[in-house]
Structure 1
Amino acid sequence: MSSPQSQMPQAAPAWQAAPGSAPHAGGPGYTSPIPVVRTHLGNAIASEWTKIRSVRSTLWTLGVFVLLVIGIGTLTGVVVANSDPALDGESPLGLGFFGLLLGSMCIITLGVLTTASEYGTGMIRTTMVACPSRGRVLAAKAVVFFLTAFVVTLVSASLVAFLHVAMLEGDGAKSPSGGEWLKGTVGISLYVALLGLLSLLVGSMIRHSAGAITIMIGAVLAPLVIALFMFSESLQGVRDALFEYSIPNQLSVFYANSLSQSGPSGWDPLWIILGATAVAFAGAFALLEKRDV
C-alpha cells in the first residue's frame, strides 16, 4: 500500500521547467550568469601585452638592447672625449649611431619572435580560438610591439644623447639644435621601432623564427657587403644605390652623418621604412586570412 506522500505530484526537473522559471543551461530562454560582452581591439591588445611582458625572450632581448645602446654609447663618448681634438665642430649626437646599429638586431629578433614563436609552439591555435578575428590579432601584436620598442628605444637613445652632450659639448663639439635633438631621439626611435615591426610582419609570413631572423639580418647587412665587392665601373650605379638605401646608411641620416653623399636625407628614411612596413602588413594580413594556422 502506497503512502500519501508517494501519491503526491513530484516537482518537474529543472530541464522541464516552464518558461519563465530557471531553465536548464543551454535551453530556450537561458540567461548566462556570466556577463557576455562584445570583444574589441582593446581586449586583444590587453591579451598581447600580457603575453609580451610575461615571456623571458622579451626581457632578454630588450635587456641586451639597452646594454648595447648605453654601453657602446658610453664607451664611444669616453674614447672621443679623450682624443685630441674630440669633435671638431660636429654634433655629439652622432656617436649614438654605433650602439643603435648593433642594438637594432635585438629589436629585429624580438619582432620576429612576437609572431613566429607562436607558430613553433602551437600557441597560435589558442590565440585564434580566443580571438577568431585574425586581422585583430595581427593589429594587436603590431600595436603592442611597436609601442614597446619605441618607448625602450626612445629612453635609451635619449639617455645616450644627454650623456654625449654633457661629456663633449665643451670639448670642441657644437650644441645640437632642436631639429637635431628631435631626429636623434624621436626620429631614430620611430625608425628602429618600424624596423622591428617589419620583422614582426616577416615573422608572421614566414612562420619560422630562425628563417625570418636570417632574412631580416640579411636585409640589414647584405646591401653593404655586396656593394663592397662591386669593383666594376659598370656597376657603380648599383653600388651607390646599395650604399644609399642600406639600413645602416638610413640610420646614420638621422644623425646628419650619412655614409654616402647622396640618397635619402632629412626624414626620408622614415617614410621609406613606413612604406615598406605598410606593404608587409598588407601581405601578412592577406596570408593570415588565407592560410590555416
Structure 2
Amino acid sequence: MSSTTLNTPAVRTAPAYRLSTKGVIRSEWHKLWTLRSTWITLITASALVLAVGITMGSTYDGDDSEIDTVVFTLFGTQLSQICLAVLGILVTAGEYSTGMIRSSLAAVPRRAPVLWSKAGVFTAVAFTVSLATNIVTFLVAQIWLADTDKELALTDPGVFGALTTSAVSLTLLSLIALGLGALFRSVPGAIGAFVATVLILPEVLSMLPFGAVDTAMKYFPAQAASSLGSVARVEDAVAPGTAVFTLALWAAAIMAAATTLLKRRDV
C-alpha cells in the first residue's frame, strides 16, 4: 500500500515594515509642499519684505541716516515674521484641525519623530527663504541707496552676517510658533499665545519699575531678536551670539514641552 505525500505550499510572509527617520522627514517635506497655504504664506512673506525694502530705498531722503542700513532695508521682516509664525503654527496645529494628525501618528507610533521632522523641515525652508529674500531685498534697495550715506556692498564687513542673523531670528521665532501650535493643538489658540508671549507680555512687564525686570526682558524672544540683523552692535541689547543662543533655548524648551505632551496626550 503506497502513501500519498501532500506538499503544503510555503506561506510567504510580508517583510516587516521598518520605519526610518529619512522616511518620516520625506513624508513631512511632501506634506509641507502639497499645502496651498505654504506657497501662499512664503510668497506673501517674501513679497512684503521686498516691497517694503523697495519703498524704503526709493523714498530715502537722508532723514533716517542714524538707522543701520540693513535694518533700514529689512523693515519688512516685521511683517514677514507674522506670516512665517502663522505658517509654523499651521504645520502643527493645522493637522489637528483637519484630523490628519491621526494618520501621521498611526504611521509613527513613537510620535516624537513626527514633531521633530516637522520642525526640521520647516526650519530649513524658513531659513532658506528668509536668507534669500533678505539678500535680494538688500541688493535691490541698494539700487536707490547708491551714492547716499546708506550705500553698502554685500561684501562689506558685517553686511552678510547681518542678513544671515536676521534670517536666523525669523526662523527661530517661527520655530517657537510651531512649538506653540503643537502645544495648543489649535490654530487660533497658538496664534494668541504667540502674540501674547512675544509681543504683549514684554510690553506689560516693561511698565514695572524694577531693574531686574528690564534685564530679564532682554532675554525674551522679540527683544533678543531685535539685537540681530544689524551691522553695528545694538545698544542696550544682548550680544548677537547671546541672542541666537537665547532664541534657540526658547525654541528648544517649547519643542521639548510639546514633545512630552504629544507622547502623553490622546490625539
TM-score interval, normalised by the smaller of the two chains: 0.7 to 0.9
1:155 CA drift (Å): 0.8
Deviation (angstroms), 1:258? 8.9
TM-score, normalising length from structure 1?
Answer: 0.79
On the 8 A contact 1:188/1:254 being kept in 2, the answer is: yes
Cα displacement (A) at 1:150: 0.7
- In the other structure, the counterpart of 1:288 is 262
Q: Please, which runs of 5 or more residues in structure 1 have no aligned partner?
A: 1-9, 24-29
The alpha-carbon deviation at position 274 of structure 1 amounts to: 0.3
Q: Report the secondary structure of 2:59's partner residue.
A: helix
Q: Return the offset for 1:31.
A: 3.0
Would you say the 8 A contact 2:227–2:234 is kept in 1? Answer: no
2:44 alignment partner, one of 64, 74, 80 = 64
Residue in 2 that maps onto 1:27: none
1:267 aligns with 2:231: no
Q: Assess, with a 3 A threshold, how the Cα gap between structure 1 residues 190 and 161 changes in structure 2: closer, same or farther.
A: same
Structure 2: gaps spanning 5 or more residues: none
2:116 to 126, 131, 139: 139
Q: What does the per-residue CA deviation read over 1:187-241, in whole Å, with 9 as the maximum and x for residues that have no partner? A: 111121111111111111111110001111222321454367x3xxx71636744
Query: 2:196: which partner in 1?
Result: 218
Partner of 1:165: 142
Give the conservation status (yes or no) of the 8 Å contact 1:93–1:164: no
Per the TM alignment, residue 184 of structure 1 is displaced from its structure 2 partner at its CA by: 2.2
Read off the aligned partner of 2:247 and give its amino acid letter.
Answer: I
Task: Please show how residues 1-293 of structure 1 align to structure 2 within 5 Å.
Answer: 18=8, 21-23=9-11, 30-32=12-14, 36=16, 38-80=18-60, 83=61, 85=62, 88=65, 91-173=68-150, 175=152, 178-223=156-201, 225-226=203-204, 230=207, 235=209, 237=211, 240-241=214-215, 244-245=218-219, 247-256=221-230, 261-293=235-267
TM-score by length of 2: 0.86
- Which residue type is aligned with residue 184 of structure 2? I
Which has the larger Rg?
Answer: 1
- Contact 1:243–1:260 (CA<8 Å) still a contact in 2? no
* AA in 1 matched with 2:134: A
What SS is found at the alignment partner of 1:44?
Answer: helix
* Aligned residue pair count: 264
1:38 and 1:56 map into 2 onto residues whose CA distance is: 31
Compared with structure 1, are the counterparts of its residues 155 and 238 closer, same or farther at alpha carbon in structure 2 (3 Å cutoff)? same
